Structure 1
Amino acid sequence: MANPYAGEVAVWLDGKRHVAKLTLGALAELEEALAAGSLIELVERFEAGRFTTRDVLALLLAGLRGGGWGGEPRDLLSVEVGGGPVEAARVAAELLARAFTVPGGSG
């Protein structure tokens, strides 16, 4: 099971469970990949439901790398995410939430 206290989220790729988490390095990579003005803008897009598929893929990639995955960006284009696009978006949103909150805490 993924450890929410460590910011971890489980994601299934081609039937194999992986742990994803947004480390500081992963967050920096994410900012660069999305060319977002700030991570707050990305969070606001998710909160408003205005995120793109590119946002979801970038979050998954950053989270998987933060969790130790050795794949390349192109690898995500051909894998089957368990639960499909809806689950991929949920995992991406959960990664953001866990990166900036403490489970059971006030923030």
Structure 2
Amino acid sequence: MIVEAVTMGSVNRPRSPVPCRTALPTSAAPAGTALIHAEAAFREALRAAAEYAVARAAGDIGEAELMRTRRRVRALRRHWTPRLESALARVELALEQAEHEDVVRRRRAARTREGGRGGGE
């Protein structure tokens, strides 16, 4: 069973340390101190290999997520940002034109009111 941790908000990665249980044959009486030392060294090497595998897997997962994020950013910069800026420019131009037309209508309405008052009196 792999225990996972979360990095960068949503990236699941293996968590270290990994519990490591070896299936070494156990004997009632070890054959000598060399065998005891060899068994201890083997357990330590196995633990180190497991921790390395976890760190390597976590690094690979992080690197893959980084590459996906870079692709997304590149797509945003190359495609979405220019499209949105273009749409914004069109909307701003339409608003500016509508404001200008509104000013012209107000001036005409003001002239019509002034002309109507002056001619009737």
Answer whether TM exceeds 0.5 for this pair: no
Which range, TM-score by smaller chain?
A: under 0.3
* Structure with the larger RCO, 1 or 2 (CA within 8 Å, 6+ apart): 1
**TM-score normalised over the length of structure 1:** 0.25
TM-score of the pair, normalised by structure 2: 0.23
Query: Which structure has the greater CA radius of gyration?
Result: 2
